[in-house]
Amino acid sequence: MELPFQICEILERLESAGYSAYVVGGCVRDAEMGTEPHDFDITTAAPPREVERVFADCRVIETGIKHGTVTVLYKGIGVEITTFRVDGEYADSRHPSSVSFSARIEDDLARRDFTMNAIAFSPRRGTVDPFGGREDIGRGVIRCVGEPCKRFSEDALRILRALRFASVCGFAVDGPTSEAARNLRANLHRVSAERIFVELKRLLCGESVKQVMLSFPEIFAEIIPPIGLQIGYDQNSRFHDSTLYEHTARAVESAPSNPVMRLAMLFHDTGKPFCRSTDEDGVSHYYGHAERSAQIAEEQLRILKCDNETCLRVVEIVRFHDLPLQDSKRFINRQLSKHGAVLSDIILAHIADDSAKTPEARERIPKWRQIFALTEEVAAQHPCLTTRDLAIGGRDLMELMPPSPRMGEILRSLLAEVIDGTLPNEREPLLIRARELANNL
Ligand code: ATP
Ligand code: MG
C-alpha cells in the first residue's frame, strides 16, 4: 500500500517513540479495493497525551480527546490519530458508555463495524487483518466483526452503514449480517436524525442502490414510513410493469448520483397510495399525487433534519416531476422564470421516472433529453427571467406615473410579454409599452 510521505513520517515518529502505529479503516479498505483513499486515519498504542508530546512541534487539535482522537497538522495535511481503543457497554444503541485505551491493535480492530473496515497496515509491520477483511473484500461481502446482533444492538447506525457500503461498493451483505440488520431495524429510532440522514444520502448515491433497496425494503420503510405503503403495491396502470416500490428503486438508481436528485426520486411517488382512483375500464389513476408526494417529502425531510436548501429543491422537483413538458423556447422561458435552475432537475426527474417504467413509456426519454438540451441552451443565454432583468426599472416608471403599487403590476406584465417573446427586452419598446399599460390601468 502506498502512503503519502507525511503519513510515513508520522508512523515512523510514533514507532521511534516506542509506540506501534498503523493506518486503518477506510483508507486501507479503499486501497485494497483499488480506489484512491480520500484521507488516512492513524491508530496507535500511544495515549493521546503522548501523541501530543511526540508532535509538540506541530499544531495539534484535541478533536475528540475523550475518545483518544487528536488531529495533527503535519507538513500541510491534517491527520487524525486515535489511540487503540476498546469500547465499553452500549446502553442506548448509540454511544458506548465508556471507552478505554489498549496497547493491542487487535482490540482496536475488534470494535470496528465490518471486516472490510477492520484492517490495519504499516510499512514496518505489514498488514493486520484478524477478521478476514481482505478475503471479504475479494468476495465482495460486507460482514460484521463479531456477532451481528450484538454489533447492531450496540450501535444501530451500523445497520445503515452496512447498506451504504453495499450500495457504494456494489457488495452483498452477508447472510447473518443481513438477517440481524432486518431484525434490529427498530433500533434505528434511537439514532439521531442527523446521523441517519448523512448515511441515507450516501446510500442513495451508490451505484447499486436499487439492489440494496430491493433487498432491504423494511429498513427503508423504517426510516421513511410512507415508503412502507409502496412495498408490494400494484399500480394497475398501463405505463408500469413493477410494483410502486420497485418502480421507486429503479427511478432512484436511474437519476444522476447526487443527493438532491436521488432524494427527489425516492419521494416522487410517495403520495400515490393516497391519490388512487379507478376508471370504468378498471385502470387506476393518481391525480394530484405529485403535490401529495411533495408534502410528504417536506414532512419527512424535516424529520430527518435535512438542510433547508436541499429540502426546498427536492420538494420542488417532486412537486413538478410530472409537469407536462413542451419542446419550445417560449415554454422553457416561462418555466425558467418560475423554477430557475431547478427546471433542469425537473426534466432529469422525468427521465429517471420514465427509465423505471414500461418500454412504451421509455420511448419518451429522447424527447425529454431534447428538451433538457434546449433548456441548457436557453439558460446559457442568460434570458430575462425576473422583473430585475428588465431593461427598465421602477425609476423609469416614475417618470411616466406617480409612484404606486401599480408599478409592480406593470413590470410583471412587461416581463410576461418579454418571456413570451412578444416584446424585446430593450428600453425604448419597453417604455412605449409601459406608457400604454399605465394609461389603461
Ligand atoms: P468513508 O470515510 O469513506 O465514509 P470510513 O470507513 O473511513 O469510510 P468513517 O466513518 O470515516 O468511515 O469511519 C472510519 C472507521 O471507523 C471505519 O472504517 C470503521 O473502522 C470505524 N467506524 C466508523 N463508524 C463506526 C461505527 N458506527 N461502529 C464501528 N466502527 C465504526
Ligand atoms: Mg473515513
The pLDDT tens digits of the residues spanning 114-123 come to 999 999 999 9
H-helix or E-strand spanning residue 78: strand 77-83
% helix, strand, coil for the chain, step of 5: 55, 10, 35
Which ligand lies nearest the alpha carbon of 199?
1
**What residues contact 309, with CB distance under 8 A and at least 6 apart?**
none
* Contact indicator for 103, 113 with CB cutoff of 8 Å: no
Say whether pLDDT at 404 is over 90: no
Helix intervals (H) in 190-274: 193-204, 209-215, 217-223, 225-228, 244-254, 259-267
Written as one letter, the residue type at 181 is A
Nearest CA to 235 among 411, 61, 361? 361
* CA distances in angstroms from 231 to 197, 220, 276, 289, 298, listed in the order given: 21, 10, 16, 17, 21
Residue 276 pLDDT: 95
**pLDDT tens digits, 199-244:** 999 999 999 999 999 999 999 999 999 999 999 999 999 999 999 9
Sheet holding 21-24, edge to edge: 59-64, 69-74, 77-83, 41-44, 21-24, 120-122, 126-128
Main-chain phi, psi angles of 69, to 5 degrees: -110, 130
Separation between Cα atoms, residue 111 and residue 119, nearest integer Å: 12
Residue 349 pLDDT: 98
To test the ligand 1 pocket, which listed residue (87, 111, 117) has its Cβ within 8 A of the most ligand atoms? 117
- Separation of CA 41 and ligand 1 centre (Å): 10
* Contact indicator for 245, 230 with CB cutoff of 8 Å: yes
- Separation of CA 146 and ligand 2 centre (Å): 21
* Contact indicator for 82, 48 with CB cutoff of 8 Å: no
* Contact indicator for 132, 116 with CB cutoff of 8 Å: no
- Separation of CA 41 and ligand 2 centre (Å): 7
Q: Which residue shows C-alpha cell 429503479?
A: 250
Q: Is the dihedral of CA 375, 380, 385, 386 positive or negative?
A: positive
Residue 420 pLDDT: 87
Cell of 40: 488516512
Separation between Cα atoms, residue 288 and residue 271, nearest integer Å: 8
- Kindly state the DSSP code that residue 174 receives in the 8-state scheme: P
- Burial class of residue 192 (count of CB atoms within 10 Å of its CB; 0-12, 13-18, 19+): exposed
* Contact indicator for 120, 111 with CB cutoff of 8 Å: no
271 Cβ closer than 6 Å to some ligand 1 atom: no
As a whole number of Å, the CA-based R_g of the chain is 28
Which ligand lies nearest the alpha carbon of 165?
1
- Separation of CA 166 and ligand 1 centre (Å): 14
Atom 2, ligand 1: residue with shortest CA distance:
26
Separation between Cα atoms, residue 300 and residue 200, nearest integer Å: 13
Nearest CA to 173 among 116, 101, 235? 116
Residue 95 pLDDT: 77
- Separation of CA 25 and ligand 1 centre (Å): 6
163 Cβ closer than 6 Å to some ligand 1 atom: no
Q: Is the dihedral of CA 234, 236, 242, 246 positive or negative?
A: negative
Cell of 103: 496497547
* Contact indicator for 215, 332 with CB cutoff of 8 Å: no
* CA distances in angstroms from 308 to 260, 314, 315, 338, 344, listed in the order given: 12, 10, 10, 19, 20
Residue 383 pLDDT: 83
Residue 96 — pLDDT band, cuts 50, 70, 90?
confident
- Separation of CA 236 and ligand 1 centre (Å): 43
Lowest-pLDDT range, 89-98, 181-190, 254-263, 301-310? 89-98
Residue 35 — pLDDT band, cuts 50, 70, 90?
very high
To test the ligand 1 pocket, which listed residue (63, 112, 137, 160) has its Cβ within 8 A of the most ligand atoms? 112
* Contact indicator for 204, 248 with CB cutoff of 8 Å: no
- Kindly state the DSSP code that residue 144 receives in the 8-state scheme: B
* Contact indicator for 218, 176 with CB cutoff of 8 Å: no
Average per-residue pLDDT for the chain: 95
Mean pLDDT of all residues in 19-48: 96
Nearest CA to 145 among 122, 177, 169, 101? 177
247 Cβ closer than 6 Å to some ligand 1 atom: no
Say whether pLDDT at 112 is over 80: yes
Atom 11, ligand 1: residue with shortest CA distance:
26
- Separation of CA 117 and ligand 2 centre (Å): 10
Atom of ligand 1 nearest to the CA of 112: 30
- Burial class of residue 306 (count of CB atoms within 10 Å of its CB; 0-12, 13-18, 19+): buried
